[in-house]
Amino acid sequence: MYMGIKVAQEQNNWQMAGRVLGDYTFYLNELSELIIYWSGGEEDEEQGD
């Protein structure tokens, strides 16, 4: 999550409505709050079995 926020800050662009960075989806809601969705699902591929 923090990685995605850092990318948004580096790009100096908080208007990332519907913009997907890696497994994260960013958008600003009506209150201009940065909303971040984890798009990778509940399973962690790195863990495996």
Give the total number of structural domains in the chain.
1
Please indicate, yes or no, if residue 45 is contained in any of the structural domains.
Answer: no
Q: Is residue 26 part of a domain?
A: yes
Q: Is the per-residue pLDDT at 18 higher than 70?
A: no
DSSP class of 49 = -
Q: Tell whether 49 is covered by a domain.
A: no
> Could you tell me if residue 30 is inside a domain?
yes
Residue span of the structural domain in which 25 resides = 2-38
Q: Is residue 6 part of a domain?
A: yes
Residue 9 lies in a domain: yes
How many Å apart are CA 24 and CA 1, to the nearest integer?
Answer: 7
- The confidence band for 17, taking pLDDT boundaries of 50, 70 and 90, is very low
pLDDT of residue 37: 74
Q: Which residues contact 20 (CB under 8 A, 6 or more apart)?
A: 26, 39
Tell me, yes or no, whether 17 lies in a domain.
Answer: yes
> Model-level pTM?
0.32
